[in-house]
Structure 1
Amino acid sequence: MTGPTELPSLPDARFAGLLAEAKALQPSTVALRRELHRHPELGLTLPETQAAILKALDGLPLEITLGKSTTSVTAVLRGKTPGPAILLRGDMDALPMPEDTGAEYASAVDGVMHACGHDTHVAMLASAAKLLSGHVDELAGSVVFMFQPGEEGFHGARHMIHEGVLDAAGERVEQVFGLHIFANLRSGLIATRRGPIMASADAFSVTVTGKGGHGSMPHNAIDPVPAAAAMVGALQTMVTRRVDVADPAVVSVTKILAGTTTNVIPETAEIAGTIRTLSEKTRALVRQELPAVCESIGAAYGCRVLVDIEPGYPPTVNDDDMADHVLRLAGEVLGAENAEEMAAPIMGAEDFSYVLQRVPGAFAFLGACPPGTDPAEAAANHSNRVHYDEEAFANGVALYAAFALDGLRPGWSE
């Protein structure tokens, strides 16, 4: 089979037409985004979000399947002629945090906010489904639209994979593409890179147990606090001396808990934090070294140590050819000024990584910094004050559509 990157690109005029079509859909894209933003939901069960998606897709020539273990939506658009399948993904869930944006469409749910832009992903993917439904005659194959709950720590992509999203068209999808909006990039800019683009995310906790006693008589106790403090520093040294700088890791202690009052040496102390790596090799190394460091220090201080590491998402790794392909498409669809190769990965994590472990594809960022704001100064993703420039949405819709049309044009599999 000849891969799509070896075929000539679509004519520029057709790409220009896609952006114009995406802009024509802007009112419905924004309306859906704002509806979802007002009614955010958490985790794997998002009934209102699912209902809004189904309403947005109503009347389109799609084969729709609802999730069993989650409120996911899988929609398949079949082209005029048979061919391979391509998957486009948008995540659906919000974050458990307050909103302080002052937007007219701000969250109506106390303590819940779409602070990572998943509402925008759903709206852009729904509009891409509308746009592509008007191009069925130009598709030699199928498009799978993956509306996924539970990205924020709930492994929603894995749930959908187990329920068959990658085979929803009747055969395994051959290419996948996902977008993530980003407040700290110039609005409309598409940024991606070859290889690792986001990190793995594992959580660790360490319980240090000594012997409690009076604060004035530490010699009669076994104090776990200095042992825990020594571990914090030693873990940083471990990273700088055991991990290859060309394949980096981040180990951050983000929680320290010990004691109840000033004159009591506690029996236990706890530290906890996060591990971020860009490869499974370094991930395995850190997960091996961290307990060894903590246990050794504990022994030196006469304390017992219990280390627990909770596996999170794996690294998000782009296929090299697919990343190059996305940048070329972005340049042709949106203009060369709106396609940029990232110099370095982001150490955040993303469960689209599970999809990219199984199918060649790419993940990219869509800039949406508000007008008149320096991207470096804009409120970031996961901020209670984050704003996204809605004008950027058309670029996302157009790129979703271009990825599918280019990959499924006649001749792709010849």
Structure 2
Amino acid sequence: MERFTITKDENNFTFLQEDITSAIEFRRLLHQYPELSGEEYQTTLHIKEVLEAHQIPYESVLDTGVTAIIEGELPGATIALRADIDALPITEQNDVSYKSKHVGVMHACGHDAHTAMMLAVCKILKRHQHLINGRVIIVFQPSEEDAPIGGAGPMLEAGVFDTYKPEAIFAQHVWPGLELGKFGVMAGPIMGNSDRFKITVKGKGGHAAQPHTTVDPVIVTNQIITAIQSIVSRNVDPFDPAVITIGQINGGFAPNVIPDVVELKGSMRSLSDASRQLMKTRLLNISNEISDAHGAEVDVEIKTGYPATVNDPEWASVVRNVIQESYGSTSVPTLRPSLAGEDFSKFLLEYPGVYYWLGIDEDEPSYPLHHPKFDVNEKAFEFGIDILLKLTISALDQLNN
């Protein structure tokens, strides 16, 4: 059964129901056997097996992950598509036939779906090489969840695009909270800067009955936590989204002992570079000044993570037009950016392109990303595959003309 047809030069560029069915089956295979960042060996092997079965050439620049190359029979531009392949350290709570068999590891961010849809795109493009003017590089990227290092940066450093440099690059991400058949496309920032920090407060411990003989790091840490929340509310421009979150506090070992050390860890997220730098500076100043006031020592470690994911405005317009031509003007609603981090941003620092969202909600809201009950609505596959294909052809045509 033919699903969708792209008319190109009086030829039909089609994909079939069996392409969707095969993609869903592959996604369920990956879902049952998820692998953490940097450990995606079997996932990579499964991808290579499919590529080899369809005589699609590929190369590897890291231990995991793979890059497929589709050469059109006609000369033209080069573009790239990217799918992330790694899973998360989460124990799945869904009761489904394809539930994760790896306890403590789960595809809770949809990377199994991204990989499966992109493999379907590979196979369909291979089938229609005679209609392709140019070259398509498909990057199956490892370690997206491994912030602050990630997988995009190491792939770039290892020369993933040394042989063929793309003139544009695109990525698609399933998105709970967005209706099935809808897409999230934005010009400019769509995902935030994401940095992590660790603050270690060193005091002088002692007996709980004699606090006057100690320098209590618990009190110091408490004041630091309260004060750094004023960074967003009192220092950052209220029209420039930002958030600071404390996610972990460690200190003490008995209720009647004032500890020597308390450690806290958290994250800072923002959209603009100005707010990103301001938050780092204020975090350092506040931590040092409060600690000094109490006679404590402090060590502040800030790990710069993924930069904001910033879409090229012209290419965002192309993506929006491709979607709306297929699904109508309401298929790309006005949305706000997310402050979650995404290492596709590193590709976008080097090459113009677009990262966009694929809606999966139907009837009831989906569980959020990174939740132990998150699951992908597989009805989204036909929309995702369709737009990836149409975007590929449209982008090549745009560049070639």
TM-score range, shorter chain: over 0.9
Q: Deviation per CA, 1:274-321, whole angstroms, max 9, x where unpaired?
A: 010112222122112211111000011111111001121111111111
The match for 2:309 is: 316
Q: Distance in 1 between the 2:81 and 2:196 partners?
A: 29
Q: Deviation per CA, 1:109-130, whole angstroms, max 9, x where unpaired?
A: 1111101010000000000111
**Is the CA contact 1:251–1:275 (under 8 Å) kept in the aligned structure 2?**
yes
The match for 2:35 is: 41
**Is the CA contact 2:51–2:58 (under 8 Å) kept in the aligned structure 1?**
no
246-255 or 27-36, which deviates more: 246-255
Q: Distance in 1 between the 2:255 and 2:385 partners?
A: 58
Q: Deviation per CA, 1:51-108, whole angstroms, max 9, x where unpaired?
A: 11112223435321023x3311111111122222100000000011101110101111
How far the C-alpha of 1:168 sits from its partner, in A, is 4.0
Match status 1:372 vs 2:363: yes
Candidates 383, 387, 392, aligned match of 1:399: 387
Candidates 338, 352, 357, aligned match of 2:344: 352
Taking structure 1 as the reference length, what is the TM-score of the superposition? 0.90
How far the C-alpha of 1:412 sits from its partner, in A, is 3.4
**Is the CA contact 1:206–1:305 (under 8 Å) kept in the aligned structure 2?**
yes
Match status 1:101 vs 2:94: yes
Distance 1:22 1:221, change over 3 A: farther
Match status 1:163 vs 2:163: no
The match for 1:214 is: 207
Q: Distance in 2 between the 1:346 and 1:127 partners?
A: 28
The answer to which structure, 1 or 2, has the higher relative contact order (CA under 8 A, 6+ apart) is: 1
Candidates 120, 131, 141, aligned match of 1:127: 120
69-78 or 33-42, which deviates more: 69-78
86-95 or 240-249, which deviates more: 240-249
81-90 or 255-264, which deviates more: 255-264
Taking structure 2 as the reference length, what is the TM-score of the superposition? 0.93
How far the C-alpha of 1:256 sits from its partner, in A, is 1.8
Q: Distance in 2 between the 1:388 and 1:316 partners?
A: 23
The match for 1:192 is: 185
Q: Distance in 2 between the 1:392 and 1:118 partners?
A: 14
How far the C-alpha of 1:407 sits from its partner, in A, is 1.6
Q: Deviation per CA, 1:204-241, whole angstroms, max 9, x where unpaired?
A: 11111111111111111111111110111110112222
Q: Deviation per CA, 1:18-37, whole angstroms, max 9, x where unpaired?
A: 89625441111101101111
The match for 2:326 is: 333
How far the C-alpha of 1:13 sits from its partner, in A, is 5.4
**Is the CA contact 1:72–1:160 (under 8 Å) kept in the aligned structure 2?**
no
How far the C-alpha of 1:12 sits from its partner, in A, is 7.5
Q: Distance in 1 between the 2:202 and 2:399 partners?
A: 62
1:244 aligned partner, one-letter code: D
Secondary structure, counterpart of 1:311 in structure 2: strand
**Is the CA contact 2:181–2:360 (under 8 Å) kept in the aligned structure 1?**
yes
How far the C-alpha of 1:252 sits from its partner, in A, is 0.9
Distance 1:395 1:22, change over 3 A: farther
Q: Distance in 2 between the 1:52 and 1:126 partners?
A: 11
Secondary structure, counterpart of 1:155 in structure 2: coil
Q: Distance in 2 between the 1:161 and 1:365 partners?
A: 23
**Is the CA contact 2:6–2:390 (under 8 Å) kept in the aligned structure 1?**
no
RMSD: 2.0
Q: Distance in 2 between the 1:245 and 1:87 partners?
A: 36
1:352 aligned partner, one-letter code: F
Candidates 329, 351, 361, aligned match of 2:353: 361
Q: Distance in 1 between the 2:274 and 2:66 partners?
A: 34
**Is the CA contact 1:318–1:361 (under 8 Å) kept in the aligned structure 2?**
yes
Secondary structure, counterpart of 1:368 in structure 2: strand
The match for 1:238 is: 231
**Is the CA contact 2:170–2:355 (under 8 Å) kept in the aligned structure 1?**
yes
Candidates 282, 285, 292, aligned match of 1:289: 282
Secondary structure, counterpart of 1:324 in structure 2: helix
Structure 1 residue ranges, 4+ long, deviating more than 4 angstroms after superposition = 11-15, 17-20
Secondary structure, counterpart of 2:399 in structure 1: coil
> Structure 1: any 5+ residue segments left out of the alignment?
1-10
Number of aligned residue pairs: 394
1:272 aligned partner, one-letter code: K
